[in-house]
């Protein structure tokens, strides 16, 4: 993985929520993959979309939350994997991947990577 200094400059910048998508079938970044961020709203438990991005050639996109935009709460990253795999001529067992997580400290930077293949996915809390 890149050095923290380089990562901070190129990808995280001043954003508070970032992601990185890697195609583990090829070992290459997943470029052009749609990513949506939503926040769970109370009452009624409705999801409100906050951002929509596409990954670049490095499998990264602009921060999904700007500085000061994060609030404590429950969030969801929705990765549009079916379209990505279709673009490569593959079918995917998972039509999309949703990663739901909780922000407890809005000042803290969060990095939520996703590793994908047509028949599996893995996510973790990165740094």
Is residue 53 a known part of a binding site? no
The DSSP output letter for 108 is S
The length of the chain, given as a count of residues: 127
124 is in an annotated binding site: yes
Determine contact, residues 40/76, Cβ cutoff 8 Å. yes
Long-range contacts of 93-99 (CB under 8 A, 24+ apart): 93/118, 93/119, 94/121, 97/121, 97/123, 99/123
Establish whether 20 is an annotated binding residue: yes
**Residue with tokens 């609030």, as numbered in its chain:** 71
In the annotated binding site, the residues are: 20, 60, 124
In the annotated binding site for substrate, the residues are: 20, 60, 124
């Amino acid at each position: 993985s890149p050095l923290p200094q380089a990562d901070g400059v190129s990808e995280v910048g001043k954003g508070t929520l970032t992601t990185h998508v890697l195609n583990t079938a090829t070992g290459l970044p997943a470029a052009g993959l749609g990513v949506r961020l939503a926040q769970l709203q109370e009452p009624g438990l409705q999801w409100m979309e906050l951002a929509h991005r596409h990954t670049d050639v490095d499998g990264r996109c602009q921060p999904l939350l700007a500085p000061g935009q994060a609030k404590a709460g429950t969030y969801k990253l929705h990765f549009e994997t079916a379209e990505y795999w279709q673009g490569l001529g593959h079918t995917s067992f998972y039509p999309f991947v949703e990663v739901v997580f909780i922000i407890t400290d809005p000042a803290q930077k969060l990095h939520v990577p996703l590793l994908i293949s047509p028949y599996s996915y893995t996510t973790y809390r990165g740094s």
